[in-house]
Structures are given as C-alpha cells and as structure tokens.
Chain A
Amino acid sequence: MENKHQVPVTVLTGFLGAGKTTLLNRILTEQHGQKYAVIVNEFGEQGIDNDLVVDADEEVFEMNNGCICCTVRGDLIRILSGLMKRADKLDAIIVETTGLADPAPVAQTFFVDQDVANKTKLDAIVTVADAVHLSSQIEDHHEAEEQIAFGDVILLNKIDLVKDENIDLVTKRIRKINPFAKIIKTTKCGAPLKEILNLDAFSLKRILEVEPDFLESDHDHEHDDDVTSLSFVSDKPLDMEKFQNWFGKLLQTKGQDIMRTKGILDFKGENDRYVFQGVHMLMDASPMGKWPDDKERSSRLVFIGRNLETMNLKEGFEACKSE
C-alpha cells in the first residue's frame, strides 16, 4: 500500500563500554518533542528507567527457508507487533543490542517478517565505538569488527581521551573495514540526534541521494583485518541475465561471509537505474527511475565482508559486462 506509515527503527550497536547507554539516556531525556521507544537487552550495562523502555531477550532463530545465514530476532517480531498496538504513535524505535551481538539478525528481521516490514522500517545501524579501545577490541573480538562492518553511522566516542594522531589511526582502521559509513567524532556521544535518527539509510532512494564514495577497486592487502571491503565500477553496461546469475549464486554460496552489499546498476537495454542493497543473503532491489541527464551512466557495486579476496569478485563482475 502506497501511503502506509512505517515507524523508523534504529539499531544501536557497539562494544561493551563504548557508550550506548549514554546515548540511550540522551535520547530518552533530551527535550526533543518526539516519542521514542527503546528496546534494550535484558543484560544491559545499567538500568534505564522509563515507560518507553522494553526489555528484550535477544532470541535469535533460524528461518525455515533453507537459507542457513537467515537468522532473525524472534523477540523483536513480538515486541514490534506489540508496540504497533499502542494508542500513541511513536516517532521512532531504537533497538539496542548487547555488546557481543551480531547486528545481522536484527537487520534481517526487517527483510523477512511481513508484519514487521509493513508497519516499521529499518532506518539505520548506528555503531558506537570506543576511540580508546576500538583497535584492541577489533584484534580480539570478531563481534567488534562486525559491528563496524554493519554500521551506517559510526559514533567514534571518547575522543577527548585520545591524542589526535591516534584518532586518525583509529579512523583509518574503521575506513578499511567500512569505507561507506558516516563517522561522527564525539565525546559522551554528544552528536545531534538528527545525525543519528531518521536517516533512512536503508531506503533504496537514499542510496542514490548520498552516493557513497564508490572507490575504484584499489585494494591494498597490507592490513590483516578480517573484515574488508571491495568496490567495483564499470562504465560499460551490464548484461542483466549474466549479473543475476553471478550475483544470485554468489549470495547463495558466500552469503555468510558477505555482510553488506550496495549497488547502483546500469543494465544494457534498460532505461532505469537499478538499485539494491543486502544484508548477507537477503536483498532489497528495485528500479529507481531513469538515469538523470546530467549524469554518466555507470554501475557501482560494493561489498563488505570476510574472505572477499577468495570470491573472485573482480573477475565475476567483469564477466557481467555486456558484449
């Protein structure tokens, strides 16, 4: 239905002690004239007392759809459906995940559950990172790296405790894992809420509006970070059938390692731009209107994930170019 109202849902992730609770308290106590519900995990760092705080137990389960990495948050389906029955309408919902949680099941819930997708929409994944400890956390815990990889916005917090040159180092580290997230440097998570909430980062339209810096695939292999990103650009139109075959098979077989994908595609013989984005194996794709006259047509594609160098992505993409 066209004019349905969907409440935006922000996923708030970040390693233990990074400052998620500080941010949540700000969201709940600042005078912003908005009504926000906050879904917190039951093992939260400290209690937040508010009528609009809901305890969740982070119950992750596999969907019976033959897709092994397709896990969703069952408790979230239940809680969001309950919140939608409220008399007062919410302006936004924030879902906090535990410091050690993988953000993928939360995001996937919005792709998989029809009721959730009808009434709410995934707005953005916001990752709070501790500028002091992020580097060592990335070394020691794959979860910290995943949270950076999934983020649309990364709040690099506690910068007051770090020397400027070290802030540059940690920023570079983040960029290597995720070159497309917006990094906001803060102390005590003091970023304006409008830079955190209601970003519409998961809408396909938004991908066109804020075209990320799709870099030519100039990938250096020096660092040993587990999670990396790769991007590809082609000025030559793609063959739709070849692309679908390649990309479909790729997600099916490597979807567990591919965490996020985004792309704007130019197919031979098609007037429309095709835009897509995915989380693991799940994808949202649609034609998004004609190419603007003032813009060269080109295809851009980005991957964030593990073991990307083993997937022959460049060769696969090259082979999709039309004859």
Chain B
Amino acid sequence: MTTDLNQFPQLDKTKFEQRGIQLEIGVPVTCAVSIGNYIAAGFGDGTIRIFSSGEKHKTLKAHKGVILCMAKDGDNILTGGDDGYFLKISLNGEINEVTNFGSRWVDHVAAHNGNLVCSSGKVVYYWDKNKKEPKSLNHDSTIGGLAFDAKGRRLAVSRYGGVTVWKKDYSNKWKSTKLDWKGSHNKVSFSPDGKYLVTSMQENVLRCWRLKDKLDFAMSGYGSKVKSFAFIDDTSYLATSGAIDAICWPFDGEGPMGRKPICLPYIGNKQVTFIEPFPNEKAIFAGLSDGSVFLSQIENENNTIIIRSFTGSEVSAIAMTDDKSSIFIGDISGNTLWTSIWDQ
C-alpha cells in the first residue's frame, strides 16, 4: 500500500540510513534470509539481490515471476516461485533447478541438514540429501506453512483444520500425527526448545500446542492477521505482528497460559507487520506498515531505537547477518536499506 508521503512530517534520516545503502528497486521485496554474513533478498520480479559488507550487492535473475518463499540450505539459498520453479542458488550466483511444477506455484520451502522440502498446493515434497527423487507427503487441503524442528527430526505442515506433524520412525518410514483445530492455519513454527508448536491463522489469532500432552490454546486480541512471528532468545518469548504494538508472549517456565504478553508500543500507531529476532538477545526488530523499523529490548520498552524512518510502504522483510553486524530491510514498494548496526 503506497501512501502520499507529503502527509507525514519530513523527519531526518536515521544514522543507520545515513551510513547505509538505500535502494529504490520499485518491485516488492518478498523475503530475505541470512547466510553467514551475507543476506539474500527475493523480489516480485524474480530477482535475488545478495548483500555483504564492503562489496557492491549482486543481482541475479532467478525466477520468471514472483519469488514467493526463501530458505537457507547450508551456504545455499532455496527459492520457490510463482513460475513453478524450486531453485537452489549458491552465493556466487550458480542457479540449480531442484524441480519445476509448471503452472503450479511453489508456495513454501524449508531445509535442514541438506534435506530439502517444498510445498505446491496440497503436496509436500521431501528430498532426502542422499536421494534424487522426492518423497510426496499428501494432505487434504492446501498447505499454509512448513517448518522443521531445531533438530530436523519433525516436519510440521500447517493446513486447513490444523497441523500434520511428520516424523520418520526407526525403520525410516514417514509417520504423521495430526493436531486439529478448526480453521485455516498459515505460518507454522516449532519453539526452539521443541516443546511448543505455533500457527498463525486466517482469523486474527495464533494457535499453540504444547507437544508433550497436545494441550492447545489460543493467543488472541489482535486487530489484524498475524503474518509474522518469531521465538526470541531461544524460547523466552514469542514476538508477533498483527497489532499496533509488538506483542511478546512469555514462553519461559510454564508457558504463556494465564500470563499477559508484553506490549511494545511504537510512535504513530501503525500496525506492526514484520518481526525479526535479534539473535541471542531478548530484543526484536519490528517493521511497521508505514515502513519504519525499530529495535526494542523486550523487557525495557524505553530502550527502543529507530533504525529506519517511514517510507510509506509496509515492511515485508528484515534479516540480520549471522555475525550481527549488518541488517537488511525491505518493503512492499521495493525500498531497501542495507546498513551496519554498530557505530564505528
């Protein structure tokens, strides 16, 4: 959504914007992942841009249409597009086709330890790193999201009516368990400690299962759909978008049941649209619907700094390099910022 910038007061650029590189690509940024000290960002015209400090970014033409999803596989980038291609791309720009579904979109991709997975429609395809042909895992409805647990032993597949959790048994056969909850489930994630599974739903609510006893509960109260969420500092908090505050549910101890979330407010009453953890800290980057991005300490709301001022377009991607030195920000109009975090 583009907005007339003249209606906003003209603020100065942040120091991060002043020392960083800002681009106006003019095409939506759809996704970004960190690969070591590189950031790969995907765009609506099928290009990928790879950023690293001290070098000019590299642009690759990867897909014929929108890059719908992206994941990291070791030192490679995995992408799925609306051109039906599932690609594996190296940091130096070598593009390999994993598969091609023709007119069917590749909606989600994920990887763990060299094993690759993607979904197209109702089917999940799993490539064991030692095998050429994928194993198809079928579902009754279209897949909303995919996630491995931290150890790569379980694969969660969200769909209409709940989540299917796939696991290989001792004889290497795929077994599935269903976690049912009425409604359409989108993004899915295991908690880093493996104890919980969370989905964001078509309604303005998150569903959570405690896996040891399948106890399930809702996290609700949102003004809009929760499109972005992330576990913070291992499993200390679950930080979520979908409200004008960043909503952070406590997941330590006995979990969030019966406890209130911490709500981090931002100036301007804009919706939080994207959440990215600051690795190993109780801190988050929150991207807003007006393009601004803040870094906040969860347990000290006064400790919030502005990283990027508004652009007028919703933040759609944030990624930080593994060495925590630099950050990439992108929005739905293709405004990007690549900057170092620390003052010299």
Contact = CB atoms under 8 A, between A and B. Distances in A.
Does B associate with A?
A: yes
Interface of A: 1, 3-5, 51, 53-55, 57, 59, 61-65, 72, 74-75, 77-79, 82-88, 113-115, 118-119
A265 B105 CA distance: 45
Nearest to B316: A85
A53 B27 CA distance: 21
B43 A74 contact: no
Interface of B: 1-4, 26-28, 30, 43-46, 64-66, 68, 82, 103-105, 107, 121-122, 141-142, 144, 160, 182-184, 201-203, 224-225, 332
A82 B105 contact: yes
A290 B44 CA distance: 43
Contact of A78 (B65, B66, B104, B107): B107
Given A55-B104, A57-B121, A63-B203, A86 B141 contact: no
B122 A1 contact: no
Contact of B202 (A51, A63, A79): A63
Nearest to A113: B202
A64 B161 CA distance: 11
Given A64-B183, A77-B202, A87-B45, A4 B1 contact: yes
Interface majority SS on B: helix, strand, loop or mixed?
loop
Contact of A85 (B1, B28, B225): B28
Contacts, number: 83
A53 B26 CA distance: 24
A176 to B, nearest CB: 37
Contact of A75 (B2, B142, B182, B201): B142
A239 B186 CA distance: 44
Given A57-B122, A64-B183, A114 B44 contact: no
Given A51-B65, A83-B82, 16 more contacts: A3-B4, A4-B2, A5-B2, A54-B82, A59-B141, A59-B160, A61-B141, A61-B184, A64-B203, A72-B202, A84-B28, A85-B68, A87-B43, A87-B46, A88-B45, A115-B225
Q: Which of B30, B202, B225 has the most CB of A within 10 A?
A: B202
16 contacts: A1-B3, A4-B2, A5-B2, A55-B121, A59-B141, A59-B160, A61-B202, A62-B182, A64-B183, A74-B184, A82-B66, A85-B30, A86-B28, A87-B27, A114-B224, A118-B1
B142 A78 contact: yes
Nearest to B334: A87
A59 B159 CA distance: 11
A232 B182 CA distance: 40
Instruction: Return the 8 tightest CB-CB contacts between A and B, nearest first.
Output: A87-B45, A87-B27, A85-B44, A64-B183, A85-B66, A85-B28, A87-B44, A74-B184
A274 B203 CA distance: 29
B295 to A, nearest CB: 26
Contacts of B142: 57, 59, 74-75, 78
Contacts of B224: 114
Nearest to B161: A61
